[in-house]
């Protein structure tokens, strides 16, 4: 059974493998991270863990019994009781309800452990699966914009609900 874990330094190799293995899959629906992300992964991973320790963001990985990363759920831009939620699930693990469950767990952590009151999220108009994950977790559609010539839907969740 996959387990949600707060990102640690020792997750680095498995997280890098996850990102490499799913790069093309993710790039089909969100902007690609670029070659620099992979070339500088270790330094970036260490820097992000320092930001996490400072409470500026909260990263989580969904790990299987063998230590492989199946997904990640991030809370970034943490300020004034609010944060932006982002998540991605490996192609091999999609369609199993893992994103819905992991987002549910992170929403609970956001309210109880991180003291947040509101979460924001965005997804492409054509990413129906992501929209379902958000609405199943109590997010409400709040608007639409265009980013990089692609329509994007914006959602908010009040964690007091």
Q: Which domains does the chain have, with CATH numbers?
A: 3-117 (3.40.630.30)
pLDDT tens-digit map of 112-123: 999 999 999 999
Q: Give the pLDDT confidence score for residue 29 in this predicted structure.
A: 81
Q: Give the pLDDT confidence score for residue 126 in this predicted structure.
A: 87
Q: How far is CA 28 from CA 14, 21, 33, 97, 144, in A?
A: 22, 13, 12, 20, 20
Q: Give the pLDDT confidence score for residue 150 in this predicted structure.
A: 82
Nearest to 67 by CA among 138, 120, 13: 13
pTM more than 0.85: yes
User: Which residue shows structure tokens 């929403």?
Assistant: 107
pLDDT tens-digit map of 40-78: 999 999 999 999 999 999 999 999 999 999 999 999 999
Beta pairing, strands 118-124 & 140-147: unpaired
d(CA 42, CA 161): 38
Taking residue 23's Cβ as centre, other Cβ atoms within 10 Å add up to 15
- pLDDT beyond 90 at 25: yes
């Amino acid at each position: 059974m996959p387990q949600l874990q707060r990102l640690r330094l020792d997750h680095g190799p498995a997280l890098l493998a996850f990102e490499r293995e799913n790069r093309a899959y993710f790039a089909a629906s969100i902007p690609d991270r670029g070659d620099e992300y992979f070339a500088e992964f270790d330094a970036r991973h260490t820097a992000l863990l320092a930001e996490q320790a400072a409470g500026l963001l909260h990263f989580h990985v969904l790990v299987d019994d063998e230590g492989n990363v199946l997904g990640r759920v991030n809370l970034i831009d943490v300020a004034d009781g609010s944060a932006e939620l982002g998540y991605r699930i490996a192609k091999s693990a999609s369609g199993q309800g893992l994103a819905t469950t992991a987002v549910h767990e992170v929403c609970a952590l956001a309210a109880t452990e991180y003291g947040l009151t509101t979460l924001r999220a965005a997804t492409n108009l054509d990413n129906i699966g992501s929209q379902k994950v958000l609405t199943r977790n109590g997010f409400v559609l709040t608007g639409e914009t265009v980013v990089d010539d692609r329509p994007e839907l914006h959602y908010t969740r009040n964690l007091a609900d």
